[in-house]
Structure 1
Amino acid sequence: MKILTVDIGTGTQDIFLYDSNLDIENGFKLVLPSPTMMIHRRLKQTLHTSGTSASKTPLLFTGHQMGGGPSAWAIEEVAKAGIPVYMTPSAATTLNDELDKVEALGIKIISEDEAKSLKPKVLSLELKDFDFELISKTFSDYGVSLDDLSAIAVAVFDHGNAPAGVSDRQFRFDYLDEIIKAKNSLSAFAYLSNNIPKIMTRLQSVADSANDLPCPLVVMDTAPAAVLGAMFDTKLSNSSNLPTRKEVIICNVGNFHTLAFRLGEKGIEGVFEHHTGEIDLPKLESLIHKLADGSLKHEDVFDDMGHGALMYSDKKFEFGKDDFDVVVTGPRRNMFNRQSLIENRKSLRPYFAVPFGDMMIAGCFGLLSATSEILPELAEPIQRSLRGGAKKGVTPWDAN
């Protein structure tokens, strides 16, 4: 049984091909530029050659809502440079759900029919987070077929479609609160593609752009996927897939977002999300301390340009009882290595989680675990692999 998992971040897209015939450590994996970075680089090349007439060719963006950040910044920069920019409504939501605000940037919103007539005269780029055809071709170039997949699981970070005048940061945290109160589980943020909440428009765009897949599609939010995946580090769970600690705080320091979940026996006890560029280690550790003692308030993060915070327990999480205080994962986890540069302060003791020997694929392992719940018919081999209790020791050349 094979399952393709794709964790799409702001800097990278991390891909893991699960094969139930192999130990997880032997599964094929890729860490590639994220789709938003691919668009960003393409447009930067356009700006770099802006002195030539060819570079003044109008740009047309079609496709779907995708992750913003680098792609959105580059599109805005191109428009400011005087290059005509056209976007279809669905593509334009990459910049803002309120299309009048996109038009205020000097970008013209056109219909799908108008886009078809424009294509011969413009440079056309399709926006989408998940490109199964490209990923499939990449694996195929290395002799690996994706024609026999049992499932595909994709994670993206979705703010949701906030109503006009409502902060998308607040809207996301209202959504997180609703889901956690309904089902206190990290896997509650995963859905089959035909069961995505209507307000989660980026998750829906992944499904819309992935039509005609050969198997079921599961989509999930990247934040809980990363934390769930980190839990499979051997210091955090045993061969029965049970936590080795009753309580744990896991912090994911991503390229664009930093978040921490406080987990206890009954599930999620608290969470906060901030923008990585807005914090340093002292600020991050201060938030983690408040998350631990139960004093963290939504405003502590939201008013500092972060997303927010939720607390579900006033019980104090005690540091110092074990050989580490906080579990750390994410591509910018090196923030916790800067402790020696900060004088006269006592830092939290981090443990850098490496589930199955690879921190960058943690989100993929979270996706895999969530898929076993969403598609219970696939659960037995997935859970057996994640527990690691039945190591096969099979080499890749003997697997098939």
Structure 2
Amino acid sequence: MEVMCIDIGKGTQDIIYLDIERDNIENAIKVILPSPTRIVAEKIMKMERDIEIDGKVMGGGPVSRAIFQHIERGYRVVMTRRCARTVRDDLEEVARRGIILKDRVDNPDVILGDLDFEMFRSIFREVGVEFKPDVVAVACQDHGFVKGQSDRITRFNYFREQLRRTSNPLEYIVVEEGGIFSRFRSILETLRENNYRGFVMDSKIASICGILDYAMEEGVEEFIGLDIGNGHTLGVSIKEGRIKGIFEHHTSLLTPEKLKDIVDRLAAGTLKNEDIYGDGGHGALVLEG
């Protein structure tokens, strides 16, 4: 079975492609590319005219900034409603920022999307490898959207709901319906359109699953796992393969001393949601120390 795993971040998209029945992970094909949002942002920044944009919801950040800068330069930006949630999930806010919303754009100048399978096929073709994954596993971040609610609250409420359902992070995959997560929905739709089986998972949880897999191989049953990314830092306390506590903060707001204090309280079971949310982070939930 050939599997493509892709982690779509703010700066890069990291790909591992392997036949799990034949290859070991060391010999898998590994590709690191600029993130989709950076690729599209660069394209927009080079344009010197009014533009129309279609496609699907994708990771924002650089592409959203490029769109707003294009408007500031005096150009007209039209987006279809289905892809405009890339900028903000609240379309009323998108319109207030100067973007013209339409139901349809016939000849778009820019197409938004997190997965460019034609690009992947081209890259693999150049190195003599046929791109034919049986499963595509996607990791990315999506805050989710509930109108009138902070996206920090929405995102961490998702973690709470998942923990009520199961404390096994390996079960936190989205296969059929993205729910309040518009980016997840778009990725699943793209997989279906390209006839690929697959799923999407929050990238922070995916990294914790990787840490858990390594710990199980080494016989470590109780530990603290950290994923320190460019944008967010997520920490979990794990015991016998189960999440016992979790927090998520903005990396830019953390210092080594502050992070150590948070980790110590997570391990002790004394970390509270307000400790993180009140400091500008997403939140914390501890089931036991």
Settle same-fold status: TM greater than 0.5: yes
Show the counterpart of 1:146: 131
Secondary structure at the counterpart of residue 82 of structure 1: coil
| Identical-residue share of aligned pairs (%) | 34
Structure with bigger RCO (C-alpha 8 Å, 6+ apart): 1
SS in 1 for 2:193: coil
Report the Cα offset of residue 226 of structure 1.
1.0
Listed one character per residue, the Cα deviations across residues 93-127 of structure 1 (whole Å, up to 9, x for unaligned) are 01111111011111111111xx11xx3xxx71111
User: Hey, what's the Cα distance between the residues in 1 that align with 2:211 and 2:124?
Assistant: 26
**Alpha-carbon shift at residue 10 of structure 1 (Å):** 1.0
Structure with larger Rg: 1
1:88 aligns with: 80
Q: Which amino acid aligns with 1:91?
A: C
Change (3 A) 1:208 1:214: closer
Q: Which residue pairs with 2:145 in the alignment?
A: 161
Distance in 2, matches of 1:278 and 1:73, equals: 21
Residue number in structure 2 paired with 1:103: 95
Task: Kindly state the Cα deviation for residue 214 of structure 1 after the two structures are TM-superposed.
Answer: 4.0
CA distance in 2 between partners of 1:272 and 1:246 (Å): 20
The structure carrying a bigger strand percent of its residues is 2
1:249 to 203, 206, 224: 224
Give the counterpart letter for 1:185 in structure 2.
N
Question: Match of 2:35?
Answer: 34
- AA aligned to 1:82 is G
Quote the Cα distance in structure 2 between the aligned partners of 1:67 and 1:206.
Answer: 11
Select which of 242, 245, 260 maps to 1:285.
Answer: 260
Q: TM-score, normalised by structure 2?
A: 0.94
Check the 8 A contact 1:132/1:210 in 2, yes or no.
Answer: no
DSSP-derived class of the 2:60 partner: coil
**Matched residues in 2 for 1:263 and 1:108: separation?**
47
Q: 1:170 to 1:76 in 2, by over 3 A?
A: same
Query: Does the CA-based 8 Å contact 1:79-1:105 persist in structure 2?
Result: no
Superposed counterparts of 1:55-70, under 5 Å: 55=48, 57-70=49-62
CA distance in 1, matches of 2:117, 2:211: 25
Check whether the contact 2:3–2:136 (CA below 8 A) recurs between aligned residues: yes
Q: Which runs of 5+ in 1 are unaligned?
A: 47-54, 316-400
CA contact (8 A) 1:11 1:34 kept: yes
1:189 aligns with 2:181: no
Count matched residues.
288
Q: Hey, what does 1:6 align to over in structure 2?
A: 6
Deviations 1:11-52 (A, max 9, x none): 111100021212211010101111111122223334xxxxxx
Which whole-Å CA distance do the structure 2 matches of 1:142 and 1:263 have between them? 41
SS in 2 for 1:154: strand
User: 1:237: which partner in 2?
Assistant: 216
Q: CA RMSD in A?
A: 1.6
Q: Give the deviation of 1:232 after TM superposition.
A: 3.7
